[in-house]
Amino acid sequence: MPTYAEIIDRMIRAAAKVYDPREARTLALWAVEALTGADRMRLLVDPRAEIERVDMGEVERYERELSEARPIQYIIGMAEFCGLQFAVGEGVLVPRPETEELVRWVAEECPKAQRLLDIGTGSGAIAVSLAKLLPTTEVVAIDISEVALDYATRNAAANGVQVAVVKGDALGDWASEFEELDVVVSNPPYVPASDRATMHRNVRDYEPELALFVPDDDLLQFYRSIADGAARALRTGGALYFEIYEGAAEQMVKMLAERGWAEIELRRDFNDKNRMIRCRKR
């Protein structure tokens, strides 16, 4: 059997073809953890140890896919989010760490919510994490993508929570199906289509366009439609939470204020970018 160091080196060389050296090393360690079941400590403390068991076919697959910029979470088939494991693959967005901060904000402010809706649920990251954090809340999740609906359903079951996962169109009349909600939360597509060219290959070539992009001349299309629906579907005093595009924070505040939403508050993420907004129905 090869040593950990040998496999780590192979992964670093593969990843370095498409990532900068620091990121290549991080991804390589992550890959070897998944391949061998050893934790990072083990890899760092005694890298010259022989690996007890590893599938060399899988080693080759990881090497090839890393060098092709396939996201590590797709290669492994899993992503961690809010301390939970989510199955992911082509057709569903890899949940991002920024979004964990949105989940924590909702959980902090809405411990007694009875009914919560997550719009554009993808892997189910937000809905499933909130169902876990708020065990007395009834959670519903909608998405327009069949692939996403499948993943979200599986991820709710695998994490042992009840989430009603249903098909719905955020740009359509989704609100007619709901009333007296306490919370609506959404991380909708918000990346301007023109940013596509400058995104890393691992996002651009692999993650679903449907989950990411909006037209440059209408960055708020999802937010307007969701806010207008939420104005009907929420109870008075109910809260609306969004993850937002950092460049659209001012436009968002203005749009929500014009529509009469109360208690509008922006928050920054760990990168110090305006990333979340909350408001309440009067």
Distance, CA of 129 to CA of 4 (rounded, Å): 34
The interface with ligand GLN within residues 239-258 (CB under 6 A) comprises 243
The distance of closest approach from Cβ of residue 167 to ligand SAM in the complex, given in angstroms and rounded to an integer, is: 8
Roughly how many angstroms between the first and final C-alpha of the chain, as a whole number?
65
The distance of closest approach from Cβ of residue 93 to ligand GLN in the complex, given in angstroms and rounded to an integer, is: 7
Reduced to 3 DSSP states, what percent helix, strand and coil does the chain have, rounded to the nearest 5?
A: 45, 20, 30
Shorter beta-carbon distance to ligand SAM: residue 89 or 168: 168
Number of residues forming the site for ligand SAM (CB under 6 A)? 22
The distance of closest approach from Cβ of residue 269 to ligand GLN in the complex, given in angstroms and rounded to an integer, is: 10
The residue number whose beta carbon is nearest to ligand GLN equals: 190
Classify burial at 209, counting beta carbons within 10 Å of its beta carbon; exposed 0-12, middle 13-18, buried 19 or more. Answer: exposed
**Segment near ligand SAM (CB under 6 A); pick from 93-101, 108-116, 158-166, 255-263:** 93-101
Distance, CA of 94 to CA of 106 (rounded, Å): 20
The distance of closest approach from Cβ of residue 154 to ligand GLN in the complex, given in angstroms and rounded to an integer, is: 21
Q: Which of 145, 187, 225, 274 binds ligand GLN (CB under 6 A)?
A: 187
Which amino acid type is present at position 83?
Answer: G
Question: Position of tokens 């693959």?
Answer: 89
Distance, CA of 28 to CA of 8 (rounded, Å): 6
Site string for ligand SAM, 172-211 (x = CB under 6 A): ---------------xxx--------------------xx
Q: Angle 232-275-146 (CA atoms, 0-180°, nearest 5)? A: 60
Return the closest-CA partner of residue 159 out of 185, 137, 126, 129: 129
> Is 189 an interacting residue with respect to ligand GLN (CB under 6 A)?
yes
Task: Give residues in contact with ligand SAM (CB under 6 A).
Answer: 93, 95, 99, 120-123, 125-126, 143-145, 148, 168-171, 187-189, 210-211
Task: Give residues in contact with ligand GLN (CB under 6 A).
Answer: 96, 187, 189-191, 203, 212, 243
